[in-house]
Structure 1
Amino acid sequence: MKHQQHSYFLPVKGYQLHIRRLLPLQQPIGTVLMLHGAIGNSRIFYTQSGKGLGCYLADQGFAVYCADYAGRGRSLPHSSSGFDHSQQQLICQDIPALVRHVAEANQQPLHLIAHSWGGVLAAASLSRHPELLPLVQSKVCFGSKRRIRVQSFEKKLKIDWMWNRLAPWLAERHGYFPAKRWRFGADDEPKQFLLDCIRWIEQDAFVDCSDGFDYKTASQNTTWPELWHFVAEKDRVLGHPDDVKAFMAETNQQQARFTHLSKASGALADYDHISMLTHPLAVQDHFPTLADWLVSLKPK
């Protein structure tokens, strides 16, 4: 392992966001902020033993910041304590605070890397707060979609029944969604965030659940930084390539690089929604390609 790790907390209006900072042993060559998806936390990007995309990029010389959303991971308080939190708070408070903090700490624009729903939240935040765009050099998404239009038995089971029906019932009963206990995902979710997420997956309109802000229109008028979207061959529901492409079109990101991680396309494995970030072969496959691309981008 060619980097050092430590944790600290960023205060944001009554709660604290946990950040895991991974610093290379030499002078950093760039800065990366990583945003996780729903029913998860920042551990999708790193382990203490040095595995994951965050650790790989730190070993290549990047200063990497892996953030836990409010109520999740090691952020305080946790959603299981009764703490509630909405999508709008993430979009309008937390992501802007994280982007400004990381950019200011390193005195340079950052590379924003997101998994799954994190890519949707990042797009919403940047389109609603264009003043953040000069602080973001590139935006990379792994399996990010807003609507789930693909139809299959797996979709009916995981989304139509478990996510749209069982999850809200559990959240109402417990005051938060105990996703980890029920093995829905790696972490629990605040109740309001869950309900907001369900609305966005189901509804055609890309508008704010709290105040009706039109993210689609704002996105269409956004001058995006350099973009790259990854999809995985075995990601048949949570980040289906067709749904990812629909999200790209909805947010005016069609100019993005687009990589389908499959053996048929030259990848070393047929990855899925999680393994595209955790598979042992990724460090020989798309991780080096991504790192080289980040290095090649000229600073603003």
Structure 2
Amino acid sequence: MKHQQHSYYLPVQQYQLHIRRLLPLHQPNGVVLMLHGAIENGRIFYSSSGKGLGGYLADQGFAVYCADFAGRGRSLPHSSSGFNHSQQQLICQDIPALIQHLQQAHHQKVHLIAHSWGGVLAAASLCRHPELLPLVESKVCFGSKRRIRAQSLEKRFKVDFIWNRLGPWLAAKHGYFPAKRLRLGADDEPKQFLQDCIAWIEQDAFVDCSDGFDYAAAAKQITWPHLWHFVAEKDRVLGHPDDVQAFMAETSQQQARYTHLGKANGALVDYDHISMLTHPLAVEDHFPKLAEWLRTLSRG
């Protein structure tokens, strides 16, 4: 392991966001902010032993910051304590605070790397707050989609039953969605966030659940930073290639680089929604290509 790790907290409103900082042993050659998806936390990107995309990029010389969203991971307080949190708070408060915090710490543009729903939230935040765009060098998404249209038995179980029906019932009963305790995900979800997420998956229009802000319309008015979308061959529900491409189209991101991670396209493995970030062979496959691309952008 060619980097050091430690945790600290960023106060936002009445809560604190946990950030895991992974710093190379020499002067960083770029800054990366990692944003996780639903029913997970920042650990999707790193481990204490250095595994994961976050550890890999830190070993390659990047200053990497893996955030836990409010109520998740080691952020305080946790959803289980009765703490509630909405998508709009993430979009309008938390993500801007994280980007501005890193820009002030390093005085250089930030590379955003997001998994799954984190990519939707990152896009929404940049659409709603275009003043952040000059602070962002690139946005990379792994399996990020807004709507889930692909139909299968897996989709009917994971999305239609677990997420759309069981999740709200459990959230109403407990005050939050206890996904981790029930082994339905890596972390719990605040009740309001779950409701907002379900609404976006189901509705055609990409508009805010709280005030109706039109993110799709705003996306047409901005100039995106450098973009790269990854999809996985075995990701047939949570980041289906068709759904990812639909998300790219509705946010006017058709100019993005697009990589399908599967053996038929030259990858070492037919990856799935999680393994494209966690598989041991990823460090020989797409991680080096991503690191070189980020390095080139950081050099200007």
Shared topology, TM-score over 0.5?
yes
Aligned to 1:86: 86
Unaligned runs of 5+ in 2: none
After superposition, the C-alpha distances for 1:183-205 in whole angstroms (9 at most, x for unaligned) are: 11100000000000000000001
Aligned to 1:293: 293
Runs of 4+ in 1 over 4 A off after TM superposition: none
Whichever residue aligns with residue 133 of structure 2, its letter is L
- Shift of residue 182, structure 1, vs aligned partner: 1.4
The 1-side partners of 2:13 and 2:66 are apart by 20
CA contact (8 A) 2:29 2:298 kept: no
1:173-188 to 2 correspondence within 5 Å? 173-188=173-188
- Number of residue pairs the alignment of both structures matches: 300
Equivalent position SS for 1:235: coil
Aligned to 1:4: 4
Aligned to 2:230: 230
The 1-side partners of 2:299 and 2:73 are apart by 32
Aligned to 1:66: 66
CA contact (8 A) 2:20 2:66 kept: yes
Asked if 1:32 is matched to 2:44, the reply is: no
Aligned to 1:109: 109
Q: Percent identity?
A: 80
Aligned to 2:252: 252
Whichever residue aligns with residue 218 of structure 1, its letter is A
1:1-300 to 2 correspondence within 5 Å? 1-297=1-297
The 1-side partners of 2:92 and 2:171 are apart by 24
CA contact (8 A) 1:137 1:299 kept: no
- Shift of residue 181, structure 1, vs aligned partner: 1.1
After superposition, the C-alpha distances for 1:203-247 in whole angstroms (9 at most, x for unaligned) are: 001000001100110012120000000000000000000000000
TM-score (norm 2): 0.99
- Shift of residue 103, structure 1, vs aligned partner: 1.3
Unaligned runs of 5+ in 1: none
After superposition, the C-alpha distances for 1:17-56 in whole angstroms (9 at most, x for unaligned) are: 0000000001000000000000000000000000000000
The 1-side partners of 2:168 and 2:280 are apart by 35
TM-score (norm 1): 0.99
Equivalent position SS for 1:192: helix
- Shift of residue 299, structure 1, vs aligned partner: 5.4
The 1-side partners of 2:294 and 2:33 are apart by 13
The 1-side partners of 2:104 and 2:272 are apart by 35
Equivalent position SS for 1:160: helix
Equivalent position SS for 2:64: strand
The 1-side partners of 2:222 and 2:171 are apart by 35
What's the RMSD between the two structures over aligned residues? 0.7
The verdict on how the C-alpha distance between 1:299 and 1:212 changes in structure 2, with shifts beyond 3 A counting, is farther
Equivalent position SS for 2:99: helix
